[in-house]
Amino acid sequence: MVRAGLTTERVVRAGAELADEAGFDQLTVSALARRFDVKVASLYSHVKSSQDLKTGIALLALEELADRGDAALAGRAGKDALAALGNVYRDYAREHPGRYAAAQLRLDPATAAASAGVRHARMTRAILRGYDLTEPDQTHAVRLLGSVFHGYVTLELGGGFDHSAPDTQETWTRVLDALDALLRNWPAT
Amino acid sequence: MVRAGLTTERVVRAGAELADEAGFDQLTVSALARRFDVKVASLYSHVKSSQDLKTGIALLALEELADRGDAALAGRAGKDALAALGNVYRDYAREHPGRYAAAQLRLDPATAAASAGVRHARMTRAILRGYDLTEPDQTHAVRLLGSVFHGYVTLELGGGFDHSAPDTQETWTRVLDALDALLRNWPAT
DNA sequence: GCATTTCCCTAAAGGCTTTAGGCAAATGGG
DNA sequence: CCCATTTGCCTAAAGCCTTTAGGGAAATGC
């Protein structure tokens, strides 16, 4: 009997691909076993549970996203940096909808703290260096940017902007314009 | 044998309660049958499928949200209206996390068109009457507001803002301030 | 009072998750 | 090179969920 050469790494990566292709809600250990042409139980040597598999995909996505973010932010500041990071999230979600959905999973505190999630907060904060904000407004702005990026990407991907003009690319550009303007003219308390 | 008095309406409503209490991902037809102390197959006379039940809860949530929105917007304009609608979403999501999660389901186009979803777009657009925006910026702004409301509520509910000062209520207030300022000083193309 | 409709039931098939235990393939020390 | 150990995938089985088919009893109305 020829072995399939499974490893946790490869199982999680294949799970991410399956989620991207079939949708995150279609991701099951059974479907993944079929993809490897292997019996279901075999996967349980590499993955503790279905939940564990999903968490693994979430961690993978968070890391890939953070890597892209770091690369995009290098050498950029101000509005350039803002648009670059926004595009990273938007493009990633379009390319990898399943992974992006996984990245929204609620992780338990310990896992979250050890994840690339902290890099995301740092990246957003880095953008704000190009604007004149001090604490606590900086934190407020970090949260606002996170909300807009996540909210926009989710709604667009979910089809919330379908069937209405103008097209979403134009809106996205103008949203970035608006955020830049807002950060340059942040209202005083 | 005493009948349980099931109707589609009551099944969906109980499903919404179950989703709120146990989490949307814990919502199953089986769990719902247990709650009614009835056999699983009995529910299938009132609900076509598990998916159908979830869709029913989504439609219920969209309608409840729209009702609350209409009530909150009545007699308000400008920043007052902006804050009122934002609070409707935020409060609803906190009170009814399961329903709110259901409301994010992707509905098929026909169902979506017949849902209260269209009222939501109208409500957001109504807020903008208090600001000086013309098309296409009005649509851009509608989408931005939708993104912020949805994104903020989702992140806050998902614990994305936990373990970091300042508290989320303060941020929420300042986010509304910021959105108001942005709408009053919307950048020109 | 009886026929019809409505409602909930039993039964059963099929899929997913997860655990337990087994055999065969890879690995490596003697 | 051989044999022992480790590793990897398998079979088997239990439990829960979804969904459909068909039956019997309660409610309804003539």
| CATH number (domain holding residue A171) | 1.10.357.10
> Min CA distance, A22 vs chain B (Å)?
15
Cα pseudo-dihedral B171, B175, B181, B182, rounded to 10: 140
In a domain, A167, yes or no: yes
Radius of gyration of chain B (CA): 19
- CA angle A179–A82–B130, rounded 5-degree value: 5
Query: Could you give the CA distance from residue B69 to residue B71 in angstroms, rounded to a whole number?
Result: 5
B2 CB and strand C closer than 7 A = no
From residue A128, alpha-carbon distances to A66, A173, B74, B144 in Å are 17, 19, 37, 20
The protein footprint on chain D, as nucleotides within 7 A of a CB, is: 8-13, 16-22, 25-27
pTM listed for this prediction = 0.92
Residues 6+ apart with CB under 8 A from A154: A93, A104, B104, B150, B151, B154
In a domain, A189, yes or no: no
In a domain, A2, yes or no: no
Domain count along chain B: 1
Q: Considering only alpha carbons, which residue of chain B is nearest residue A141?
A: B175
The string of pLDDT tens digits covering residues B140-165 is: 999 999 999 999 999 999 888 877 76
A146 and A160 Cβ atoms separated by less than 8 Å: no
In a domain, B156, yes or no: yes
In a domain, B1, yes or no: no
List the domain range (segments joined by +) for residue B179.
Answer: 8-184
Q: What is the pLDDT along chain A (189 residues), one digit of tens a residue?
A: 677 788 999 999 999 999 999 999 999 999 999 999 999 999 999 999 999 999 999 999 999 999 999 999 999 999 999 999 999 999 999 999 999 999 999 999 899 999 999 999 999 999 999 999 998 999 999 999 999 999 999 999 988 887 776 889 999 999 999 999 999 999 988
Judged by CB atoms closer than 8 Å, whether chains meet at B182 and A178 is answered as yes
In a domain, B36, yes or no: yes
In a domain, B189, yes or no: no
Tokens (6 digits) for B182: 């942005």
